């Protein structure tokens, strides 16, 4: 039985959902930042804006890592599935080759047995003539 990729796909789907949630958080944080700094130009506002921007960068990085992990999980599962299918195909080919080899060996044995039987019959006929 070939490797089932569905569990990896489910994990990737969950990671994609988490990445989507982080994207929504980033959007809300950016909106809140923009509303907060609108009309303000004090040093404290710039500090808050910088802190929020740093958090947004960290969240984007986390989102990207989650997405990369999801892609890696799925790719690894697909690789395992492909390798398993290749192994099964090789084993099937080896089984068929062995069966063919055994069939040819049986046919050769039957041919030799028929040849020996024919020789025995000829030998008996020759002995009857004497």
Kindly report, residue by residue over 47-87, the tens digit of the pLDDT.
Answer: 888 899 999 999 999 999 999 999 999 999 999 999 999 99
User: In this structure, are residues 86 and 9 in contact, taking their beta carbons and an 8 Å threshold?
Assistant: no
Residue 44 lies in a domain: yes
Residue 16 lies in a domain: yes
Number of domain units in the chain = 1
- Which structural domain range is residue 122 located in? 6-129
Q: Which among 56, 63, 57, 61 has a CA at the least distance from the CA of 17?
A: 63
Taking the C-alpha atoms of residue 26 and residue 19, their distance in angstroms, rounded to an integer, is 10
User: Looking at the domain assignment, is residue 67 inside a domain?
Assistant: yes
Q: Is residue 1 one of the residues assigned to a domain?
A: no
Average pLDDT over residues 107-122: 92
Confidence band for 130, pLDDT divided at 50, 70 and 90: low
Residue 97 domain-assigned?
Answer: yes
Q: Global pTM? A: 0.64
Residue 95 domain-assigned?
A: yes
Q: What percent of the chain has pLDDT over 90?
A: 68
In a domain, 20, yes or no: yes
């Amino acid at each position: 039985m070939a490797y089932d990729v569905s569990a990896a796909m489910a994990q990737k789907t969950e990671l994609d959902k988490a990445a989507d949630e982080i994207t929504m958080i980033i959007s809300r944080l950016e909106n809140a930042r923009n509303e907060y700094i609108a009309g303000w130009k004090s040093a404290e506002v710039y500090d808050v804006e910088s802190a929020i921007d740093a958090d947004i960068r960290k969240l984007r990085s986390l989102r990207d890592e989650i997405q990369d992990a999801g892609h890696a999980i799925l790719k690894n599962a697909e690789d395992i599935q492909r390798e398993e299918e290749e192994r099964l195909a090789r084993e099937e080919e080896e089984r068929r080759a062995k069966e063919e080899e055994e069939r040819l060996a049986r046919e050769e044995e039957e041919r030799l047995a028929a040849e020996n039987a024919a020789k025995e019959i000829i030998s008996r006929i020759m002995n009857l003539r004497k």
